[in-house]
Amino acid sequence: GLKLTREELGDCQRCKLKDKRTNIVFGMGKPDAALVFVGEAPGGDEDRTGEPFVGAAGQLLTKMIEAMGLSREDVYICNILKCRPPGNRNPEPDEIVECEPFLKKQLAAIRPRMIVTLGKFAAQCLLRSDAPISRLRGAWKEYQGIPLMPTFHPAFLLRTPSAKREVWADLQEVMRELDRLGIQRTSPSRPA
Ligand code: URA
């Protein structure tokens, strides 16, 4: 399960991010969540606290989750990389290679009914695609038989608020599927 996967990760020294991290950000939320959000990597706030998506982008993600009629406690939130890349630079291929097995084990333990990937790196990683996120987003894909919806990253939305319309459309697809599967949520409000 998740606990064993966290134990296996341990005080990870597998890649070069080990030297500059403060905390490993493993993931948080419901261990048997129906819906998992996968982001890119911890930023400064996450590195300081050990919790995923607690900075500015995280606050927007929280608003998105709540606008879907869910709460952070109903879902599971994690990243491809468990450690912060210095200066929030992009994940590098060798870092993804070392860390991705732990994401895969998390997903195997949780066995969610749906996955939402946030931004280019999570989508490209789980889908083994090099298509741009602008092409991937908004259409259902599959990861290991699990429906996966790629959408834009909330940090991108902070810079490009006009893209919120597309993300909300993507999340409406997810809500439709949650309802079809009879997964409990309160009625949606308006986009954040
Ligand atoms: N951005 C991410 O991709 N993940 C976090 O946890 C925070 C910001």
Looking at residue 115, its pLDDT comes to 99
pLDDT tens string, the chain, 192 residues long: the values are 999 999 999 999 999 999 999 999 999 999 999 999 999 999 999 999 999 999 999 999 999 999 999 999 999 999 999 999 999 999 999 999 999 999 999 999 999 999 999 999 999 999 999 999 999 999 999 999 999 999 999 999 999 999 999 999 999 999 999 999 999 999 655 455
Q: How far is the CA of 185 from the centre of ligand 1 (A)?
A: 24
Cα 87 to its chain centre, rounded Å, is: 20
Looking at residue 77, its pLDDT comes to 98
Segment (H or E) for 139: none
> Which atom belonging to ligand 1 lies closest to the Cα atom of 155?
1
Supply 114's token pair. Answer: 């749906």
Supply 159's token pair. Answer: 């810079």
What is the C-alpha to C-alpha distance for residues 76 and 122, in angstroms, rounded to an integer? 15
Supply 125's token pair. Answer: 């990683």
Looking at residue 181, its pLDDT comes to 97
Looking at residue 187, its pLDDT comes to 65
Residue identifier of the C-alpha nearest atom 7 of ligand 1: 53
Query: For residue range 79-113, what is the model confidence (pLDDT) as tens digits?
Result: 999 999 999 999 999 999 999 999 999 999 999 99
Q: How far is the CA of 18 from the centre of ligand 1 (A)?
A: 17
The best mutation among 75, 79, 99, 116 to test binding of ligand 1, ranked by most ligand atoms within 8 Å of the C-beta, falls on 79
Q: How far is the CA of 182 from the centre of ligand 1 (A)?
A: 29
34 secondary structure, DSSP code: S
Residues with CB under 6 A from ligand 1: 39-43, 46, 52-53, 55, 57-58, 79, 155
The best mutation among 21, 24, 25, 40 to test binding of ligand 1, ranked by most ligand atoms within 8 Å of the C-beta, falls on 40
